[in-house]
A and B are shown apart, each in its own frame.
Chain A
Amino acid sequence: MQGRLIAAAERLLADGVTFPQITVSRLVKEAGITRSWFYVHFKDKSDVLSAWFASIRRDLVEVDDDWWAIGAEASEVDLRVALRRITLAYHPHNLMMAAMYDQAAIDASTRAEVEEIERHRIARLEAHIIDGQAGGWVDPVLLPAETAAWLTYTGARGYQQMVESEGASIDEFVERYARHVWLVLYEHAPSRTGADDRPAD
């Protein structure tokens, strides 16, 4: 039943309606279920998003680890491969992820959930940056927490824009984002430039 709800939501979203615009009535009608069934199982629309995210979480929870495996010996191609795997894991869920972002703009509980997901991803990228700086293969000038945040938001929003709005392929997005990340984090690291002197603060 939940599957039917999600499938119905995805059909409506694919038509260009935003999640905040979809009413419960429309959703249940599209799904072919009754309102009473809906309200037995869900408090509101945001609840549907929560339940959906909980169900796919398992698919995604360790997938970002591919990135963290990038280390001193990695090349830009290795980074691209890692980011491609991550993007492909998220891709089937793109309509509902966009729905969560849209709903987060108007619903506090969804916003809290999206922020928790983002904080988690950012924290892990931050830890990766700190490791890399200690190991000499990430630029030590960068502020780890803020840089992790900028890059994480760039990946999510960049995907939405390039793939969903502009029709780029996943490979095209991955290549561009990998280039971006490579230049920001790794290209100018001491282990690659051989530089020991960094600009004073």
Chain B
Amino acid sequence: MADVELLSPHGIALLQLAHDPRSRVQDIAERVGLSERAAQRLISDLIDAGLVVRAGSGPAAAFDVPEAVRARVVPLQGLSRGDEAGNGGGATKRDDIRGRLLAAVERIIEAGGSYAEITVERLVVEAEISRSTFYAYFQDKAGLLQALVGQVLDEMWAAAEAWISLPPQADRLAVRAAMVGVVEAYRRHRVVMIAAADGAASTPSMRSQYEALMSLTVARIAEHVRSGQRAGYVRPDIDAAHAATLLTWGTERGLYKLVGSSGSDDVARAGRALADLVWNLLYAGYR
């Protein structure tokens, strides 16, 4: 079957380095699914192309992604691909501030109003931080939204991983539980998810960021389908990329529409229906 790559190994390596300049060649190799030698070649290619700069030498060497390049990949930085245990060793100050601002945004919007209407002044009061602290970490409200989307998407990503990483012999009930988890994660952070989707609908620059994030998700799900096909628990007669595209975008639109103000019963039903849909599409008769 045709091997459709939505992100090239170079692209994935670049994203990894933009996310963590201290990534070792070994980390890149794991991320891309190639040998260390191949990963070393990828990094050399990126350096030759001027997309990455080697900073320092020897064991302490890091790979720096220049600002102009970073600006093109920045929308993808929020995605830490299910933050492996031990990465960073605990919340940084920025994460803490961001967490408080996220809670503040969600409280303010629950009380009525839209993200567009919120002022930075009101936000810092609600989050109990100073204006200068805010501006030390975020350029403006749009920059904050981008960071909040990144944090919320990490959680969505973790919820999707709970589905994707189910053991091959997992049954329909396990898939249902995982999908309810996805719907619940969206519902928990619907304020930011909806603000992000609305921003993408009205602003071309936010749209391309949003679409880049969606591309990564589609790629991840396509990867799951392919590996399931190789292992024999996903039906072999579907195209992984197309199935992943329809699933990801259909779920994105469905979550936006279904989860707005629904109660927990609705979440359970929506999650179950999604799971049964996915079951029939991918696994029925094979898992």
Q: Which residues of A contact B (CB under 8 A)?
A: 16-18, 20-21, 101-102, 105-106, 118, 139, 141-143, 146-147, 149-151, 153-158, 160-162, 165-166, 176-177, 179-180, 183-185, 187-188, 199
Q: Is the CB of B281 within 8 A of A154?
A: no
Which of B202, B204, B235, B277 makes the CB contact (< 8 A) with A142? B277
Expressed in whole angstroms, the Cα–Cα distance for A18 and B96 within the complex equals 35
Interface members, chain B 226-284 (any A CB < 8 Å): 235, 238-239, 242-243, 245-247, 249-254, 257-258, 269-270, 272-274, 276-277, 280-281, 284
Expressed in whole angstroms, the Cα–Cα distance for A146 and B262 within the complex equals 13
Q: Which residue of A lies closest to B114 (CB)?
A: A106
B284: which A residues are within 8 A, CB to CB? 183, 187-188
- Best-buried of A17, A166, A180 by chain B (most CB within 10 Å): A180
Q: Which residues of B contact A (CB under 8 A)?
A: 172-173, 197-198, 201-204, 207, 211, 235, 238-239, 242-243, 245-247, 249-254, 257-258, 269-270, 272-274, 276-277, 280-281, 284-285
Expressed in whole angstroms, the minimum distance between the Cβ of B253 and any Cβ of chain A is: 4
Q: Which residue of B lies closest to A98 (CB)?
A: B201
Q: Is the CB of B238 within 8 A of A18?
A: no
Q: Is the CB of A106 within 8 A of B257?
A: no
A141: which B residues are within 8 A, CB to CB? 276
Known: A105-B197, A156-B253. A162 touches B276 (CB 8 A): no
Which of A18, A106, A149 makes the CB contact (< 8 A) with B258? A149
Contacts A106-B198, A147-B277, A154-B251 aside, 5 further interface pairs with beta carbons under 8 A come to: A18-B207, A149-B257, A160-B249, A179-B238, A188-B285
Q: Is the CB of B201 within 8 A of A102?
A: yes
15 CB < 8 A contacts A-B: A18-B203, A18-B207, A20-B202, A21-B203, A106-B202, A147-B277, A149-B254, A154-B250, A156-B253, A157-B253, A176-B242, A180-B246, A183-B284, A188-B285, A199-B173
Q: Which residue of A lies closest to B254 (CB)?
A: A153
Q: Is the CB of B280 within 8 A of A21?
A: no
Expressed in whole angstroms, the minimum distance between the Cβ of B184 and any Cβ of chain A is: 15
Q: Is the CB of A183 within 8 A of B281?
A: yes
Q: Is the CB of A20 within 8 A of B201?
A: yes
A143: which B residues are within 8 A, CB to CB? 269, 272-273, 276
A187: which B residues are within 8 A, CB to CB? 280, 284
A185: which B residues are within 8 A, CB to CB? 280
Expressed in whole angstroms, the Cα–Cα distance for A183 and B278 within the complex equals 9
Expressed in whole angstroms, the minimum distance between the Cβ of B128 and any Cβ of chain A is: 31
B207: which A residues are within 8 A, CB to CB? 18
A166: which B residues are within 8 A, CB to CB? 245
Q: Which residue of B lies closest to A193 (CB)?
A: B285
Expressed in whole angstroms, the Cα–Cα distance for A166 and B6 within the complex equals 11
Expressed in whole angstroms, the Cα–Cα distance for A165 and B257 within the complex equals 21
Q: Is the CB of A102 within 8 A of B211?
A: no
